[in-house]
Every structure is written in structure tokens, then in C-alpha cells.
Amino acid sequence: MPRCLVVLSGGQDSTTCLYWSLARFGAANVDTVTFDYGQRHRIELDCARAIAALAGVPHTVLPIDTFAALGGNALTESAIAVQAGVEADGLPNTFVPGRNLIFLTFAAALAYRRGITELVTGVAQTDYSGYPDCREATIRALQQALRLGMEWEGTLHTPLMFLSKADTVRLARDLGALPALALSHTCYNGVQPPCGVCPACRLRAQGFTEAGIPDPLLERFGGAAA
């Protein structure tokens, strides 16, 4: 059985991907990696650590502080308020340019060093919030670049690519991931209980509502957002 490395942000999608990987490759063959990139909602680092511990898989945190130095987005600068909708360039102000490209490149380098050929990420084209680095064409092009650039016979798996948020919730339920989702973090404002009003909270709530499944994170905090 091949080994796999899951990019685990501590959020809903990456947690679901972790449990997809456990079912596909077996716990003994799954590693996780989380990136400390100077994100304002740093609580996600603790969430990722807790989720990996619950799943019983190794967890590595890699520091990448360049995104914070670049600035210009609401996920790394506390002075920029998270906003719904798009900016003048057509992208949300939560878009961190190049983030998924850099994350997956570093993850592939780590996988290469560990002899891992399967890399799993939770990007989704169906609800990608306007982020161009979540599209299938981007991921396939990056996979080819990584294979050529490292002479690495790796595969980038994107099990959520064409699922709706409701479908992702149903998949998490079927995989037994709901207890782990109680430990996850989605809120762009970095608070627990989640704020319930930022775009990420609204998208998560919509998915659970459409799936007809209570959000275990909200149940953990008494059933309501902040």
C-alpha cells in the first residue's frame, strides 16, 4: 500500500480529506502536514494538531512566513477586515496569492524526502470562493510541474474537487469524520465559537443545512455561533 501525505489546515475540507485518506490508504500509511504561514486565525494550527492526534497519525508543522511579509490580504493582516464579495481584481480579499501552489510544492518536497508518492489536498472547484489555485486545471498543471521538477512519481489527490459543500458533509459523515469536525476551524475571523457571519462560516453552515446534518462544531459550543 502506498503512503500518503495530507495537507491538513485544521478546517472542514482538509479534515474530511484526512478521513478519506485513512479509508483509502490505512492509518499506518498516512502522514499530515500543516503550514504556519503567519495566518491571523492561528487557532487552526491547534485544531490541525488535535485532529491529527484524534486520527492517530503523524503531524508536521512547516513554517512559511513569506505570505505574512507579502501581506495585502485579510488572512494574514489583522488590519484588513474580512469582506464578502470580490475586490476590484475580481478576487475575495481573503485570497492569498500562490498559497496552494506553495503549500503543495513544499508538501511534495516533504513527501519526496519521506518516500511518499500520494499527496492529498482539500481544494474544491465547485465552491472555491473565486480562488484560482483551487481549480482542477491548476492542480493538474502543478502535478506535472512537480513530477518533472523533482523526478517524483507523485499524484495529487483532490477528493472534494467537484463536490458541493453538502456532499462534502455527507462524505464526512460516511467516513466517520464528524467527531473530528467538532475540532475543526473554518471561521475567517479566527474565533471559537465561530462568528457565523464571515463567508467561510456561511458556506459551512449552508453545507450542513443542505445535508440535513447538525454541525458537530456548533454542537460542541452549545449549538450556536458567536
Residue 45, annotated as binding a ligand: no
Residue 187, annotated as binding a ligand: yes
Residue 9, annotated as binding a ligand: yes
Residue 17, annotated as binding a ligand: yes
CB environment 56-95: b (16+ within 10 A), e (fewer): ebebeeeeeeebbeeeebbbbeeeeebeeeeeeeeebbbb
Residue 160, annotated as binding a ligand: no
6: β partners: 32, 120
Smallest Cα–Cα separation from 187: which of 26, 2, 1, 10? 10
Classify burial at 136, counting beta carbons within 10 Å of its beta carbon; exposed 0-12, middle 13-18, buried 19 or more: middle
Residue 184, annotated as binding a ligand: no
Residue 13, annotated as binding a ligand: yes
Residue 22, annotated as binding a ligand: no
C-alpha cell at 56: 492517530
C-alpha cell at 99: 498559497
Instruction: Provide CB contacts within 8 A for 137, sequence distance 6+.
Output: none
Residue 4, annotated as binding a ligand: no
The rounded Cα 218 to chain-centroid distance in angstroms is: 19
Rounded to whole angstroms, the Cα distance separating 143 from 91 reads 24
Residue 16, annotated as binding a ligand: yes
Cα angle 78-84-90, degrees, rounded to a multiple of 5: 100
Residue 122, annotated as binding a ligand: no
Residue 10, annotated as binding a ligand: yes
35: β partners: 62
Residue 101, annotated as binding a ligand: no
Instruction: List, as residue ranges, the binding site for Zn(2+).
Output: 187, 195, 198, 201
Instruction: List, as residue ranges, the binding site.
Output: 8-18, 187, 195, 198, 201
Instruction: List, as residue ranges, the binding site for ATP.
Output: 8-18
